[in-house]
Amino acid sequence: MARWRQPLIDTRGGQLFQWIGVTLLLSLAFLALLQVAGPGLRAIVETVRSAVTSMVR
C-alpha cells in the first residue's frame, strides 16, 4: 500500500517564497565566495590540469 508523503516544500502560507529567498541568498553567497576565491581556485585547477596532461603524455 502506497503511503502519501508530504511534499518537501509546502506552497501554502508563503513558505514557497521563503524557500525562493533562501535559495537566492545561498546562490549570491556562493557567487561572492567564487569572486573572492576565484584566482586561487583558477591556479589550483591550472596546476592539476598541467599535472594530468604531463602524466598522459
Please tell me the distance from the alpha carbon of residue 21 to that of residue 27, in angstroms, as a whole number.
10
Query: What's the CA gap between 34 and 30, in Å, rounded?
Result: 6
> Can you give the pLDDT at residue 24?
93
pLDDT at 15: 78
Looking at residue 31, its pLDDT comes to 87
Q: What does pTM read for this prediction? A: 0.47
Domain limits, the chain: 16-57
